[in-house]
Amino acid sequence: KQEVTQIPAALSVPEGENLVLNCSFTDSAIYNLQWFRQDPGKGLTSLLLIQSSQREQTSGRLNASLDKSSGRSTLYIAASQPGDSATYLCAVRQLGKLTFGQGTILTVHP
């Protein structure tokens, strides 16, 4: 059974800092890995999707990497802003299903 773990569970940083969120998974036979953002009381917004054959994807200040063989992904956020405060979820795709981690709660204070 696939298990996805996200570390840390919570992170608080001052504005402007670069930060890394970690995601690990136990079964490397995945189709892709997706990073989502969830604001309090809201739905999920897709940030980045990395296919199993890819090593990284970038969108603006976000960069996600994937090391499928070791079962790890990182989400790098550059020059963090208070508007980045949210819960970040990673999810891996197998046989049409997504398995989610429990998320990292990020707080960026001015």
Spatial distance between the Cα atoms of 91 and 34, rounded to a whole number of angstroms: 5
SS (H, E, C) 14-26: ECCCCEEEEEEEC
Q: Does residue number 40 form part of the binding site for other proteins (CB under 8 A)?
A: no
Q: Does residue number 102 form part of the binding site for other proteins (CB under 8 A)?
A: yes
8: cis peptide before it, omega within 30°? yes
Q: Which stretch binds other proteins (CB under 8 A): 13-21, 27-35, 58-66, 69-77?
A: 27-35
Instruction: Report the DSSP pairing between strands 4-7 and 19-25.
Output: antiparallel
Footprint of other proteins on residues 59-98 (CB under 8 A)?
89, 91, 93, 95-98
Residue with tokens 């989610």: 100
Q: Does residue number 55 form part of the binding site for other proteins (CB under 8 A)?
A: no
Among 42, 55, 61, 109, binds other proteins (CB under 8 A): 42
Which residue ranges make up the site for other proteins (CB under 8 A)? Answer: 4, 31-32, 34, 36, 41-46, 49, 51-53, 89, 91, 93, 95-103
